Structure 1
């Protein structure tokens, strides 16, 4: 686990891919440019949030396919794809196709549950089966089995002169099943993910169990430990991976105007972090803002961070392209090294400010 004597092994970032509805192409191009920059700066991974009927990435598979042709090394993931919107068989085909195009660099992050605001969209999403759709863990288990290449049907072989059929999802991408992640915010989900052969994405939101102290770091730490215990007991795979995804905003090379803008963003979001929210006890992590040395000190003291050796720091939702360039450049050039991370050998020396555009 990271500490002052153990280096951070993998460093990634997460973006929502925000766009202007009047010019959505520009926002998608900006996201692709940010991923290209991430590879040049030596980041290990770039992750895409998944948003439906909003002004963020609705089709991360398409964006990953495009990014795979502009990059050669950086891993590409989703954090997360809500399976309530997806047909597992069709999704398995798409993920395998993009993984092959990317040379085995895709890391699908998944979650289950009823789609957000389901009552407003179920008549279009599932017009004939809205009230009987299964949004349980079984849905993600089915996707995992299909990606693993398990049999879909008995029928296979040639039919007619030229048609030939398979009894499993095609194309098949070996190794993709081992790169499936589950986005868990509760102890129950974390333990399920570990017991069922998934890696764990732990983000900036957790659910506080009854009797738990509402301390974000301690709650996240307990969930990660529950995941590892379940994964070890299952003994179904090699060492399970865990990635933490907090919002960090280093200001080392930020302009005065950027620092002021960033601080306003954090100040607006801070009140929701002071106590669990809603009937489920949702607890948000405070955003970390300051110099890279200041943020590194906060991370080393963070109980959740102490449990991981890889991270995917989340970029703030509503910033501009030049802000993301500055933040990524400072993360790669200053914060990452302060945490003991070493950029990929083919990464370039991170420039200061916005010179990396």
Structure 2
């Protein structure tokens, strides 16, 4: 593991104790989270994208604001449900953000996950065509998006267009290198292998769509191995990147102890472990929460095969506690990254 960043859902609610009570609070505080992460020495600020819920849904305006207020950290999405997207308009928006960010945008995409709407993409004007599966629909949109951000000609020119004869008009603006920073959120070993074949980076979440009885880290590490093998076999240049997400709650002071001690008690009593459940009609493995002091966290994360196999660890955070509280968490996570890196070097 070389990089560590946060992953925020951008929730807001009026629940007792919430510091993020309105949509305005959520947008402003997410920008503050990016600033806090950069100040604390983290490597990335990533946001989840969900529709029809009280959380971040339109990432590009927010990412542009985060880019304008930071200078070093990666800015990413984990993940955009492509079934909601016009891939050409998204290519314009993504390139705009990447140019503002100076090439720091990392775009995670996928077919999406279960959501409140019965058919959200249809409500957005993208009903599923007859005989086409959601995976196939998302894949076709991703293909068009990748071509667009790669600068490939898309549209037939009109009589006033200034392009070489027989050429097609590309999407503008174009941000060189963005096409090499597209990730896919894979849930199973087949989709991980396909991601490698297509030359996209791999994102793996706090759950996988497999239920072998093995720990999450073991199942994910096997997926990572298959992904990297597929990348090599396809002959793609460069190094494939892999991120895994984990719920990590460092206890480093009285306030973090107040918030997280109940989770630690449950952990010490054996009630915090990976478990098997069902999501999207598929039996899946869900990851546990890592909680405690840095010594305990380091020891347990070194035993997580997927964390140690990945180059990027994304930590899901309690964003409703606000940027000021999470800054303390970010400082602890930066130290945890250094501990794990030194241990690997030894």
Task: State the TM-score, normalizing by the size of structure 2.
Answer: 0.85
- State which of 172, 178, 181 in structure 2 corresponds to 1:179: 181
- 1:335 Cα shift? 1.6
- 1:44 Cα shift? 1.3
What are the Cα deviations for residues 122-144 of structure 1, in whole angstroms up to 9, with x where unaligned? 55222776657752422212211
Residue 12 of structure 1: aligned partner: 5
RMSD of the alignment, in Å? 2.8
- State which of 314, 317, 335 in structure 1 corresponds to 2:316: 314
- 1:27 Cα shift? 1.8
The change in CA–CA distance for 1:271 and 1:68 in structure 2 (over 3 A counts) is same
- 1:48 Cα shift? 0.6
- 1:41 Cα shift? 1.4
- 1:231 Cα shift? 0.3
CA distance in 1 between counterparts of 2:111 and 2:153 reads 23
The answer on whether the counterparts of 2:207 and 2:284 sit within 8 Å (CA) in structure 1 is: yes
- 1:265 Cα shift? 9.4
Q: Is the aligned partner of 1:291 residue 2:274?
A: no
After the TM superposition, which residues 214-225 of structure 1 pair with which residues of structure 2 at under 5 Å, given as runs? 214-225=214-225
The answer on whether the counterparts of 1:84 and 1:115 sit within 8 Å (CA) in structure 2 is: no
Residue 341 of structure 2: aligned partner: 340
CA distance in 2 between counterparts of 1:251 and 1:157 reads 65
SS of equivalent residue, structure 1 residue 79 = strand
Task: State the TM-score, normalizing by the size of structure 1.
Answer: 0.83
Structure 1, 86-95 or 24-33: larger mean CA deviation: 24-33
CA distance in 1 between counterparts of 2:208 and 2:110 reads 14
SS of equivalent residue, structure 1 residue 33 = helix
SS of equivalent residue, structure 2 residue 243 = strand
Residue 196 of structure 1: aligned partner: 198
Structure 1, 233-242 or 116-125: larger mean CA deviation: 116-125
Structure 1, 279-288 or 107-116: larger mean CA deviation: 107-116
The answer on whether the counterparts of 2:290 and 2:297 sit within 8 Å (CA) in structure 1 is: yes
- 1:145 Cα shift? 1.3
SS of equivalent residue, structure 1 residue 173 = coil
- 1:191 Cα shift? 0.7
CA distance in 2 between counterparts of 1:173 and 1:304 reads 32
Residue 18 of structure 2: aligned partner: none
CA distance in 2 between counterparts of 1:340 and 1:12 reads 15
Residue 107 of structure 2: aligned partner: 108
Unmatched 5+ stretches in structure 2: 15-20
CA distance in 2 between counterparts of 1:329 and 1:34 reads 12
CA distance in 1 between counterparts of 2:22 and 2:266 reads 24
SS of equivalent residue, structure 1 residue 276 = strand
The answer on whether the counterparts of 2:121 and 2:127 sit within 8 Å (CA) in structure 1 is: no
CA distance in 1 between counterparts of 2:213 and 2:39 reads 42
The answer on whether the counterparts of 1:122 and 1:130 sit within 8 Å (CA) in structure 2 is: no
The answer on whether the counterparts of 1:20 and 1:27 sit within 8 Å (CA) in structure 2 is: no
CA distance in 2 between counterparts of 1:276 and 1:46 reads 29
Q: Is the aligned partner of 1:126 residue 2:128?
A: no
Residue 41 of structure 1: aligned partner: 40
- 1:117 Cα shift? 4.7
Residue 300 of structure 1: aligned partner: 302
The answer on whether the counterparts of 1:84 and 1:114 sit within 8 Å (CA) in structure 2 is: no
CA distance in 2 between counterparts of 1:236 and 1:330 reads 36
- 1:119 Cα shift? 2.8
SS of equivalent residue, structure 1 residue 240 = coil
The answer on whether the counterparts of 2:45 and 2:76 sit within 8 Å (CA) in structure 1 is: yes
The change in CA–CA distance for 1:142 and 1:328 in structure 2 (over 3 A counts) is same
After the TM superposition, which residues 128-167 of structure 1 pair with which residues of structure 2 at under 5 Å, given as runs? 135-155=137-157, 158=160, 167=169
CA distance in 2 between counterparts of 1:196 and 1:158 reads 36
CA distance in 2 between counterparts of 1:44 and 1:114 reads 26
- 1:237 Cα shift? 2.1
- 1:195 Cα shift? 0.6
SS of equivalent residue, structure 1 residue 195 = helix
